[in-house]
Amino acid sequence: EPEEKVMHSLGSGFAINANGQIITNAHVVEDADKVTVSFLDGRSFDGKVLGVDTITDIAVVQIPVVKKELPHPSKKLALS
């Protein structure tokens, strides 16, 4: 049985609103089977890629959070 390769990608992004939408680079998430959004305070959420524009290298990722759980939109985060 052939061995399955697992590849990881790491990038940054930022929350654009209190509804759990994150902006990141398209090249970070465009071929991802799974996206995890991690905040600097240690919290992590599974993300869903809503859209990718490879021309501008922009992607939108949705995380399922309650509005009060999101940090201020200017807070930095990491995507993997």
**47-73 pLDDT per residue, tens:** 999 999 999 999 999 998 755 555 555
Domain ranges in the chain? 16-66
Distance CA 32, CA 19 (A): 22
CATH of domain 16-66: 2.40.10.10
Closest CA to 24 of 62, 72, 58: 58
Task: Answer whether residue 80 shows pLDDT above 70.
Answer: no
Closest CA to 49 of 36, 60, 65: 60
- Segment 4-51, tens digit of pLDDT: 767 778 889 998 988 899 999 999 998 888 999 998 888 899 999 999
Question: Whole-model pTM above 0.95?
Answer: no
Work out whether the CA dihedral 41, 21, 37, 56 comes out positive or negative.
negative
- Tokens linked to 16: 């654009």
- Tokens linked to 27: 């090249």
**Which residue shows structure tokens 């509804």?**
19
